[in-house]
Structure 1
Amino acid sequence: MDEQSELRLELKRDFTEFLDQDFGRETGVGRYVAKVDDIIKHYAQTKRVRLEVDLQDLSDYNEELHRRVMGSPSTCMPPFEEALEEFIRNRAPKLLEESQRVHVSFTGEFGPHTTTPRQLTSKVCADGVSVQSW
């Protein structure tokens, strides 16, 4: 197995553990297990799968994994989506169609980046923008 394949498998395993990591809280079901169960419950109406992951949760779980996602999202997203698909198929084996795509999106703070309206050259959705006067 080459280095890229090993990295992808390692990331997939880490993301699977992240999804299942908070099992055993007071409710007996972790935050992301509950989110996945909610996606499964509403799938008949929505016909889509998108899991929103809070970057702070990822950082709290594993700082190195958080750093990898922030530093190289194109390397991390495919194994995360594979882990999510497998996680859903384990919880509801007949839910997803064979070609059904699942998606992961991130919420939260993406870092100390600043921009001005003049720098925006396309449609951008910005969450949590703050204005500072100098």
Structure 2
Amino acid sequence: MEDYSEVRVQLTRRFADFFEYDFITPGQGSWSYARALEDLYEPVEGDAKSYRIKTRRLMVAEHHLRKYDEPLLLQLLQKPLECLPAFEDALQNFVKSGVDQTLQRLLEDSGSENLTIGLKGDFGRSEVSPRQLTSSLLNQLVCVFGIVTKCSLVRPKLVTSVHYSEASKQPAPRVLGLCSCNYLGG
């Protein structure tokens, strides 16, 4: 089995190549994610030379990933905990390479150079409603869509309290109450 750091370095390289890829649209010319970085900041009102960060999340279209490298998209959907940190590393390196000097300066001035990745588009089987969200989708990237009609605050409740008896040197569980959550306190 490969070392996790080696896998992350390889994925970072693949995602870095994705950011440098030019997408050609018939009738509209070419487009790249270097132009999308301009959407992360905006000019300050009243001062045409000053800018401020509007958002720290770069939205990546699913169909762009599919067009660039479909196995990479499938790997991202199946193993997001492995792929998303590498994707965000590639984004950080892409910005630090100087492709957008204004954004690079704004991030340095703010003190936090962290940018995140957001995904949008058609996720196919990975697009589910709250009722379809099951344990089979654990550790996968899914898009949950639906309308929230009722929402309540769930507070963890103590289910079992375990007390240690010095005399018998045995733990003695005491059931305090039943609840629908799986929180165990001690």
Q: Deviation of residue 49 (structure 1)?
A: 2.0
Residue 41 of structure 1 and its aligned partner are, at CA, apart by 5.5
The Cα shift of 1:115 comes to 3.2
For the structure 1 residues 118 and 95, does the alpha-carbon distance in structure 2 shift closer, same or farther, using more than 3 Å as the test? closer
**Aligned pairs, number:** 123
1:32 aligns to what?
33
Report the equivalent of 1:17.
17
Match of 1:61 among 55, 68, 72: 68
Kept in 2: contact 1:89–1:96 (CA 8 A): no
- AA in 1 matched with 2:36: K
Say if 1:89 and 1:95, in contact at 8 Å, map to a contact too: no
Q: CA RMSD for the aligned pairs?
A: 3.2
Please give the alpha-carbon distance, in whole angstroms, between the structure 1 residues aligned to 2:132 and 2:87: 34
Contact 2:40 2:54 in 1 (8 A): no
- Of 104, 107, 125, 2:117 maps to 104
> Which residue of 115, 121, 125 maps to 2:129?
115
Whole-Å separation in 1 of the counterparts to 2:129 and 2:40: 34
- 1:80 is matched by which residue type in structure 2? F
- Greater shift in the superposed pair: 107-116 or 35-44: 35-44
Unaligned stretches of 5+ in structure 1?
Answer: 120-124, 130-134
- Under a length normalisation based on structure 1, what TM-score does the superposition of the two structures give? 0.72
Deviations 1:77-118 (A, max 9, x none): 111111111111212243323532101000011222443669
**Partners in 2 of 1:103 and 1:42 — Cα distance?**
21
CA distance in 2, matches of 1:29, 1:111: 26
For 2:86, the equivalent position in structure 1 comes to 79
Q: Greater Rg, structure 1 or structure 2?
A: 2
Write the letter of the residue equivalent to 2:76.
V
More strand by share: 2
Q: What is the TM-score normalised by the length of structure 2? A: 0.54
Change over 3 Å in CA distance of 1:17–1:87 after alignment to 2: same
Question: Where in structure 2 are there 5+ consecutive unaligned residues?
Answer: 45-50, 134-142, 147-186
Report 1 or 2 for greater relative contact order, CA contacts < 8 Å, sequence distance ≥ 6: 1
